Amino acid sequence: MDRLANIRVVLVRPLYGGNVGSVCRAMMNMGLHDLVIAEPRPEFNTFDAVKWSYRAREIWDRHRTFDSLAAAVGDCRLVAGTSVREGLYRQHSRTPRAWAPQLLAAAGEGPVALVFGPEDNGLSNEDIAYCTHLIRIPSTEAYSSLNLSHAVMVCAYELFVAAEAYTPPAEASPPATAELRERMFGMWREALLEIGFMEPPKADHMMLALRRIWARGELTEIDTRIMMGIARQMQWYAQTHGAR
């Protein structure tokens, strides 16, 4: 069951085609596909929407329009509206991260709406009345008005992350074992003595410094073998070119 497939992005009376195109990109980046425009404006620039949707054109091509917000969310069990205003009846808003688990759980059962208002004024009180939940995206107090596609991106991103739909890239090489690291340090000790970087009485001390430097981040097996190769080459170079 793909819970993200049940998340519907509802744009109410959007003004700019470019923003709606960018919303398509954000949705496709984050695994959302169901775009709805409620109360479309006659002057809406669909050419801009197509242009800005870039390689997320399929989201735009499949979008639906409804004459009212009520119709757009009619089949949704949970309707989450976004708002930055904090007037009466908007105080129970929570961040997208706080709501994400509940939104996803509901999306496991049926359609869930994320509702975004027009660029200039946001959702009206009448729109808000249709919302069972209110989302407030964190922002500075000095400038709390997000671009429409940015607001969609933050909400979609939080749902995508909460859905654990993303697998981070795996480091191809496993961490080096202690045994391999010790072999590397042994080779460096010999090589550094060979090229005269340190004298035997100071060698232990210097090797502790190197151990400290190379322990700050975990070395992989490949990293360790690269460092061993350098030590080996230093020794070879010293033995073939050295003037001891």
Residues at the interface with a copy of itself (CB under 8 A): 18, 22, 25-26, 28-31, 54-56, 86, 90-95, 97-98, 136-140, 142-147, 149-150, 153-154, 157, 160-161, 165-166, 168-172
Minimum CB separation from a copy of itself for residue 143, in Å?
5
To 5 degrees, how large is the angle CA 117–CA 122–CA 128?
A: 75
**For a copy of itself, the closer CB: 23 or 69:** 23
Nearer of residues 45 and 95 to a copy of itself, judged by Cβ: 95
- Give the distance from CA 109 to its chain's centroid: 25
CB of 18 to a copy of itself, least distance (A): 8
CB of 66 vs a copy of itself, minimal distance in Å: 26
Distance CA 114, CA 7 (A): 7
**At its nearest, how many Å lie between a copy of itself and the CB of residue 144?**
7
Which CB sits closer to a copy of itself, 140 or 240?
Answer: 140
| Rounded least distance, CB 229 to a copy of itself, Å | 16
Taking the C-alpha atoms of residue 2 and residue 236, their distance in angstroms, rounded to an integer, is 58
> Distance between CA 218 and CA 53 in Å, rounded?
41
Q: Which is nearer to a copy of itself, 79 or 234 (CB)?
A: 79
Beta strands 64-66 and 34-38 are parallel
Run of H or E including 96:
helix 96-107
CA 198 remoteness from chain centre: 48
How far apart CA 227 and CA 37 sit, in angstroms, is 58
CB of 149 or CB of 235, closer to a copy of itself: 149
Which C-beta is closer to a copy of itself: that of 51 or that of 183?
A: 51
Minimum CB–partner distance for residue 169 and a copy of itself (Å):
5
In the block, tokens 């208002």 appear at 117
Burial zone of 243 (CB within 10 Å; 0-12 exposed, 13-18 middle, 19+ buried): exposed
